[in-house]
Structure 1
Amino acid sequence: MIFNAPDFLPPLPEVPDTVPICDFMFDEQYGRRDISQSLDAYTCGITGRSISAEDQRKRVSFLARSLAKELGWKVNEGSEYDKVVGIFAHNTIDIMTVNWAIHRVNGISSPANAVYSIDELKYQLSFSNCKALFTVTSLSPVALDAADQAGLPRDRVYLCEMPGDAQIPAGFKTVSNLIKDGEQLPDLERIRWSAVQGARQTAFLCYSSGTSGLPKAVMISHRNVIANTIQSCLFEKGSRDKISPGYRDVALGLLPQSHIYGLVLIGHASTYRGDQVIVLPKFEPQTYLNAIAKYRINTLYLVPPIILMMAKNEELLNKFDLRSVREIYSGAAPLAREILQELTRRYPTWKIRQAYGLTECSPLVTATISEDVWPGSSGSLIPGCAIKLVTDDGQEVTSYNEAGEVLVRSPAVVLGYLKNEKATNETFVDLPDGRFLRTGDKGEIRISPTTGVEHLWIVDRIKELIKVKGHQVAPAELEAYLLDHPAIADCAVISVPDEAAGEVPKAFVVLSPSARLKLDSKETIARNIQQYVEKGKARYKWISGGIQFIDVVPKSASGKILRRLLRDSEREKRRAAGAKM
């Protein structure tokens, strides 16, 4: 049985497939709000510096001209995979300009998580075959070491300016330098695409933690992003029209622009609607709350740990004027019902809306309608998106309140994984009624008691992913890394609950014979292992749930780790201690 978007939502029109994102975002014929009627596209929440939509359009053009000259690229020559550019940076008001300038030269943007270690960034630069890298001064030590190890020349590393930069290191060009140079260069030739090229040409390489091995490079086409931008805007249209037909939002741009949530739902959809985005480079409670009050922000795009902070710090929140807030948009991880109810009690006019999506869906699949907030639900399907639920034995679910793996069909479902045909074939399946993405999440459709509208509820996870503050961690990636430690003979990693992060990894370790012979205490060995992970992995991958030493890792006859048994054991231990699992 196929489940679709509610009938009262506008239908999805034909999605352009011969248009690059850089044209779609600034050409009003494709449906974006008139540039003359748009708010300032991006404003720095710290300095107040703004760029208008018209400024941004010009800056994209100027920066693209400079990139073409700097890198020796011709717009209509070569494959997009010859023109991959990495972005390893905190949020700035120029990041989206950089993305669209890369597209203007017919290239690919490959955003990298700003908390990556040198090895993690080196892997992404090498695997994507990046030809240039944009970073920020505070991250330049990691960026330069990773670039050196990936064979990327330092004169192809550029800097995005940030608030508080005391001095730009000598020898590096900044985005401002490149834009100024580009003003003096002739305009680039227009992109010439053949039919449906937008549907098959990669625009972004975003990295997603799979259930095994290293992160996978998700190939996201121009049409994928365009489709999800239109889909999310159609979903929002009804709520906006109720406020005012010409309503424009002031939105928070705190979530990382390297993450698909921030990249598309804030970076693309907000600009398309003519909204203003107040950009913050990272989360700091006082700065965050001050920005809401100062810039009269209406919509907060957040992840559950930040919402938890707000629920637990009433005294701090009372120091700031938050009356401008209309709604909170929560995504990237489940939001506990208790948190939602606590904030709603304190701020009854706020609508706390949840959403469900994946990098492989570019990203949005469902969202909560403002008038139909149902705690615990992931909301209703967006226009043009359909799902089916499949049970463990391969049967389609044909009724409400029955669980099955969520399979998604949408024009925003991505092309697949770069250089990983096996994972692509396992994840994206061609069925008689279309191409579907296997999400690895188990869900069910329930009927809202308030409106009678269908809602998706995620009830379990089939994929063994750990979601830490919105980041995904693959247990197998950590296990492979841990097995290189000389004290470890075998190991397994599971998710355990954490009040601040939602979930964190915990490791079960079997000591190697050499470690057993040493006189070091287990506490010393555990700390040594922790330091090993902290040195080589991003912070959200640290073993924050602790290390437990065991005699043997439970496995099936085929050698598969039986994490279920470890989770059951952990749950019993926590239950006995009165903790939640």
Structure 2
Amino acid sequence: MSFFPGASIPELPFEVPDDVPIHEFLFNEKYGRRPIKDSYPALTDGVTGQSYTADEVQEHIELLARSLSKRLGWRMEDSPVANLKPEYTLTPNSELLGEKVLCIYSYNTIDTLTVSWAAHRVNAVSSPANAAYSAGELAYQIKDSGSKALFTNAALLPVALDAAQRIGLPKDKIFLIDLPPGPWRDDKISAKGYRTVQDLIEEGRKLPALGPLRWKKGQGDLQVAFLCYSSGTSGLPKGVIIQHSSVITNVLQHATFDAPERKLLEKETGDGRLKALGVLPFSHIYGLVLLVHQSVYLGDEMVCLPKFDLTAFLKAISDHKLQLLYVVPPIIIVMTKNKKVCDKYDLSNVRTIWSGAAPLGLETAQDVARLWPKWIVRQGYGMTESGPCVTSTPFNDPMFGSSGCIIPAYQIRLVSEEGVDIKEYDQPGELVVKSKAVVLGYLNNPEANKETFQDGWLRTGDKALVRKSAKGNEHVWIVDRMKEMIKVNGLQVAPAELEAHLLTHPAVADVAVISVPDERAGEVPKAYVVKASSVGLEESDAMLIRSIKKHVEKEKTKHKWLRGGVEFIDVIPKSPSGKILRRFLRDKEKEKRRQAGSKL
């Protein structure tokens, strides 16, 4: 079926349940999840090997919910949306959140999502925060979200306490999530006097049981599950209001899309379950939904690592015989640039490497296929606002460089700069999408809501095109962010395309491309490059710059040449999910030109 105009590939196997919270959907076999096995691990610590079965996770949710209810004074019966009348007009503001919000500022652990699900058990909202935040950034999210409690790790406690003091959050509303040993832990930090998640779970055993949640039909479409913060391209982070039915829908969409692969796996192994890697931040929508929620629903074992460290990453893959690697392009680049290190570990059980959060370049995907020919290289596209996943690579039709095909119950359009729907292949336009997985909107931000959510459609701000594979499937290619496209004499240049090509140069460890002003062409591309460790001291910067420029000129048309120059830099600024933060480089460039007295 063609995607033009706005068509969708096959629908879901059953109607999305809108009267249950996420955790009930995940752990109840009547909603299509893979049967629960008593001894099969659902969540495993990739360092210590400690595991929880699905039944144990459910028990922890119940016990922790009792403690939250008592310590925070949260009545389970109170829901901000339960009594809204049918004629209620949706306004994405604090009214939807209510007073029961907690913030999770933590590295990944096997207890992190239990805190969120326990909050949902008492009709509360979870607001995950980036573990790389400064005290000021964390304070902003706690205050903006209206969080009444904070869960963090001992290693992050100094920052957490600084943030809490700034906005007046009492210390007795700060709780700790234990971390396994590793480079992410600092045992010199005293955490004496703070209750841990395990303390609260044990406390819950002595408290009376909570009654069942009784949601009305349609409540899941308005009840907020998560308040995630999206940095966007400028300004302060925006709170993205994610309803329960959004997460449930996207888990079902992805499970339906991958069902043919799972059936084949079942024939091969007799089970259909996989061991998957959970190293991406659970505070980010990719890690939150696709890694944890989808893995639990599919009955997979999610092996968690607190954060990325190459040695711990490779050791976990080897020790736990992992088969499915959820990663981002920077991790893939580190692997391809350190093949000799990777070869020291047993990666033979890996079947699939799935990349998301930022475009995986054609050349990088080809490198993975060349270095590890038995691996299936897959990619997906999505954003926090889309719930997240919109496209995914079919396991039997990878097309390197593409972000895959539309997943079930999603509709897309490509819209030209003039606002006209594009109906031809290989013609780029803004990607506009529609699904029940799309979120409710931004918190208290009517201007951003008006700009992004229009007539039921979500404007992604990404430029994309559609191409047919040799097998006839329609693949979506993300060209770049609309606002980051470079126009050279009116011709468009995608930074991501040049970055992917530049990474194939042996002297380039990492790279970002931005536009710089030019009197004749309007704009031209400039590359910021991190040198590879293999670059010798005898190689001058001038020699390297000439070599890098020729590398582009040999393969790319003239308007894509690096006429803005090449500048070496120690590190490329990136978000935790791997997206290049080009705005920081643009600011750096503007300041440099200002100091030089440039009028451009």
**TM-score tier (shorter):** 0.7 to 0.9
How far apart in 2 are the matches of 1:37 and 1:554? Answer: 69
Q: After TM superposition, what 4+ stretches of structure 1 lie above 3 angstroms from structure 2?
A: 3-7, 165-168, 463-466, 497-508, 537-548, 551-555
Q: Percent identity?
A: 47
Q: Decide whether the 8 Å contact of 2:403 with 2:478 is kept in 1.
A: yes
Q: Which amino acid aligns with 2:229?
A: Y
Tell me the equivalent position of 1:16: 17
Describe the shift of the 1:465–1:62 C-alpha distance in structure 2 as closer, same or farther (beyond 3 A). farther
Structure 2 residue ranges without an equivalent (≥5):
81-96, 487-501, 518-568
Q: CA deviation at 1:334?
A: 1.0
Q: CA deviation at 1:502?
A: 5.5
Tell me the equivalent position of 2:113: 96
Q: Which amino acid aligns with 1:458?
A: I
SS at match of 2:41: coil
Tell me the equivalent position of 1:296: 321
SS at match of 1:173: coil
1:175 paired with 2:176, answer: no
Q: Decide whether the 8 Å contact of 1:305 with 1:500 is kept in 2.
A: no
How far apart in 1 are the matches of 2:314 and 2:77? Answer: 46
How far apart in 1 are the matches of 2:415 and 2:39? Answer: 44
How far apart in 1 are the matches of 2:328 and 2:437? Answer: 22
Tell me the equivalent position of 2:498: none
How far apart in 2 are the matches of 1:163 and 1:276? Answer: 18
Q: CA deviation at 1:263?
A: 0.2
Q: Decide whether the 8 Å contact of 1:239 with 1:370 is kept in 2.
A: yes
Question: What TM-score comes out, normalization by structure 2 length?
Answer: 0.78
Q: Decide whether the 8 Å contact of 1:507 with 1:543 is kept in 2.
A: no
Q: Which amino acid aligns with 1:325?
A: V
Tell me the equivalent position of 1:460: 480
Describe the shift of the 1:205–1:172 C-alpha distance in structure 2 as closer, same or farther (beyond 3 A). same
Tell me the equivalent position of 1:514: none
Tell me the equivalent position of 1:2: 5
Q: Which amino acid aligns with 1:260?
A: I
SS at match of 1:401: coil
Structure 1 residue ranges without an equivalent (≥5):
467-496, 509-529, 556-564, 567-581
SS at match of 1:348: coil
SS at match of 2:396: helix
Q: CA deviation at 1:503?
A: 3.8
More displaced stretch, 544-553 vs 82-91: 544-553
Q: CA deviation at 1:463?
A: 3.9
Q: Deviations over 1:470-496 (max 9, x none)?
A: xxxxxxxxxxxxxxxxxxxxxxxxxxx
How far apart in 2 are the matches of 1:85 and 1:33? Answer: 30
Tell me the equivalent position of 1:436: 457
Q: Decide whether the 8 Å contact of 1:37 with 1:274 is kept in 2.
A: no
Question: What TM-score comes out, normalization by structure 1 length?
Answer: 0.80
Describe the shift of the 1:325–1:420 C-alpha distance in structure 2 as closer, same or farther (beyond 3 A). same
Describe the shift of the 1:12–1:461 C-alpha distance in structure 2 as closer, same or farther (beyond 3 A). farther
Describe the shift of the 1:338–1:504 C-alpha distance in structure 2 as closer, same or farther (beyond 3 A). closer
Describe the shift of the 1:220–1:463 C-alpha distance in structure 2 as closer, same or farther (beyond 3 A). farther
Q: Deviations over 1:307-330 (max 9, x none)?
A: 011111121111111110001000
SS at match of 1:192: coil
Tell me the equivalent position of 1:512: none
How far apart in 1 are the matches of 2:76 and 2:208? Answer: 13
Q: Decide whether the 8 Å contact of 1:300 with 1:327 is kept in 2.
A: yes
SS at match of 1:189: coil
Q: CA deviation at 1:459?
A: 1.8
Q: Decide whether the 8 Å contact of 1:369 with 1:379 is kept in 2.
A: yes
1:258 paired with 2:279, answer: no
Q: Decide whether the 8 Å contact of 1:133 with 1:157 is kept in 2.
A: yes
Describe the shift of the 1:55–1:37 C-alpha distance in structure 2 as closer, same or farther (beyond 3 A). closer
- RMSD value, Cα: 2.8
How far apart in 2 are the matches of 1:427 and 1:554? Answer: 37
Q: 1:354 aligns with which of 379, 383, 394?
A: 379
SS at match of 1:139: helix
Q: CA deviation at 1:507?
A: 11
Tell me the equivalent position of 1:424: 449
Q: 1:373 aligns with which of 392, 398, 401?
A: 398
Tell me the equivalent position of 2:529: none
Q: 2:468 aligns with which of 447, 459, 470?
A: 447
Q: CA deviation at 1:464?
A: 4.8
Q: CA deviation at 1:69?
A: 0.5
Q: CA deviation at 1:201?
A: 1.3
Tell me the equivalent position of 1:191: 213
1:395 paired with 2:420, answer: yes
Tell me the equivalent position of 1:492: none
Q: CA deviation at 1:549?
A: 2.0
1:118 paired with 2:135, answer: yes
Describe the shift of the 1:543–1:437 C-alpha distance in structure 2 as closer, same or farther (beyond 3 A). closer
How far apart in 2 are the matches of 1:181 and 1:147? Answer: 24
Tell me the equivalent position of 2:494: none
Q: CA deviation at 1:385?
A: 0.6
Q: Which amino acid aligns with 1:550?
A: R
SS at match of 1:240: helix
Tell me the equivalent position of 1:494: none
Q: CA deviation at 1:210?
A: 2.6
Q: Decide whether the 8 Å contact of 2:280 with 2:577 is kept in 1.
A: no
Q: Which amino acid aligns with 2:344?
A: K
Q: Deviations over 1:108-159 (max 9, x none)?
A: 0000000001110000000001000000000000011101111111100000
1:498-537 correspondence runs (5 A): 503=512
Describe the shift of the 1:193–1:503 C-alpha distance in structure 2 as closer, same or farther (beyond 3 A). farther
Describe the shift of the 1:505–1:68 C-alpha distance in structure 2 as closer, same or farther (beyond 3 A). farther
Q: Decide whether the 8 Å contact of 1:251 with 1:275 is kept in 2.
A: yes
1:212 paired with 2:234, answer: yes
Q: CA deviation at 1:213?
A: 1.6
How far apart in 1 are the matches of 2:232 and 2:596? Answer: 21
Q: Decide whether the 8 Å contact of 2:321 with 2:349 is kept in 1.
A: yes
Tell me the equivalent position of 2:180: 163
Describe the shift of the 1:189–1:437 C-alpha distance in structure 2 as closer, same or farther (beyond 3 A). same
Describe the shift of the 1:538–1:19 C-alpha distance in structure 2 as closer, same or farther (beyond 3 A). closer
Describe the shift of the 1:78–1:455 C-alpha distance in structure 2 as closer, same or farther (beyond 3 A). closer
Tell me the equivalent position of 1:338: 363
Tell me the equivalent position of 1:153: 170
Tell me the equivalent position of 2:564: none
1:549 paired with 2:569, answer: no
Q: Deviations over 1:46-100 (max 9, x none)?
A: 1111111110010010000000001011011253421100000000110111110
Q: Decide whether the 8 Å contact of 2:337 with 2:509 is kept in 1.
A: no
More displaced stretch, 159-168 vs 367-376: 159-168
Tell me the equivalent position of 2:125: 108
